[in-house]
Amino acid sequence: MEPAVKEAKVSVAEPAVKEEKVSVAVPAVKKKDEKVFVAVPAEPRAGQSTLLWALAHLYSSRATTIVLTHVHVPPQMIPIMGVKFHVSKMSADQVRLFRMAERQQVEEMLDDYIHRCSEIKVPFTWSLRVKCEKLVIENEDVASGLIELIRLHGITKLVIAAAADKQYSKKLNKPVSKTATEIMQRADPSCKIWFVCKEKLICVRDKEVQIAPSAAVGQEVARLPFHHKEDDIKMEMGFDHELEEARKALEDLMSRALKESCRRQKADEEVAASLQKAKVYEELYLEEVRKREDLEAALARADREIAQLRRAFGQRNTPTECKL
């Protein structure tokens, strides 16, 4: 008889699986700084109204940066000792030193703008300090320089003066200055441009030109297509031709004035040299006169001494002859 086999059940404890929740911190997306470029002239007072409008209407938070933009036009006539000379008539070192001094003046002017900007109180952001940067470019033409900056820096917001403050009127509804007009025509359409005058918005160019309501009293905001008629283009070409002729005439006049100035300067130098020679000759003549006077005085003394000797000799001989 076989012994009974007992079956033993072995239970294997399975390890408990613990579920853990892993939290990954996702960094917050930082809002990109918004830059508003403000075109300013060389004189801070002339650009103050444009800057004030930009601060009051386009500066809203710490993410906004005002970029003071200036196009420096190097002058072709350099003043020296009260006379202006063309850069072509001067050495490269002289022109370089003059350009360095000019650039320093431009930097100081923009620093003055930044100082004024830091003192301005912006509505709704009294506790915020205005963030400012400066951007300078050299170009022979202000409009061309600004258009180049728009292309190089991808500027999308630009504030510029439509006209001088003294030209402001309620009927003003488009740029008057040549620079602003040219920028409206040639600037990249991706750049939105605000044209202001005397702290008033005149119009906005955003693919289409929008006239500000204040400039069109009693009418709705009008939209003007961004193009010009052929007559206007012909008129502008004629005006450019007249400007070119006037520029050539002015250069010719300046060239003749420079030649005349050089001729007069040379004549003045010759006169000064002649006066110096005359002074030398006069001193030589006076020296000769003094020598002659000294010689004549010496001869007179010699004559007196000879006469005294003769008298003394005559007195000695007289008694001897009497004794004989």
What pLDDT does 56 receive?
Answer: 86
Q: What is the pLDDT of residue 195?
A: 95
Please indicate whether residue 121 or residue 181 has the higher confidence score (pLDDT): 181
* Average pLDDT of the residues in 48-76: 87
Lowest mean pLDDT of 204-218, 225-239, 257-271, 272-286, name the range: 225-239
Mean pLDDT (whole number) for 123-146: 80
- Residue 27, SS3 per DSSP: coil
Least confident of 114-118, 126-130, 196-200: 126-130
Quick check: helix, strand or coil at residue 103?
Answer: helix
Distances (CA, A) of 100 to 104, 125, 206, 262: 6, 38, 38, 26
pLDDT of residue 217: 43
Higher pLDDT, 191 or 278: 191
Three-state DSSP class for 35? strand
- From the list 207, 60, 72, 64, the residue with the least C-alpha distance to 149 is 72
Poorest-confidence range of 123-132, 241-250, 263-272, 291-300?
123-132
Contacts of 17 by beta carbon, 8 Å cutoff, 6+ apart: none
Q: Which amino acid, residue 90?
A: M
Alpha carbon distance 223, 221 (integer Å)? 7
Q: pLDDT band at residue 90, thresholds of 50, 70 and 90?
A: confident
Instruction: Quote the CA–CA distance of 19 and 17 in Å, as a whole number.
Output: 6
Q: Which residue has the tokens 């003094």?
A: 290
Region 181-193: mean pLDDT is 92
Task: Give the pLDDT band of residue 68 (cuts 50, 70, 90).
Answer: very high
Q: What pLDDT shows up at residue 142?
A: 93
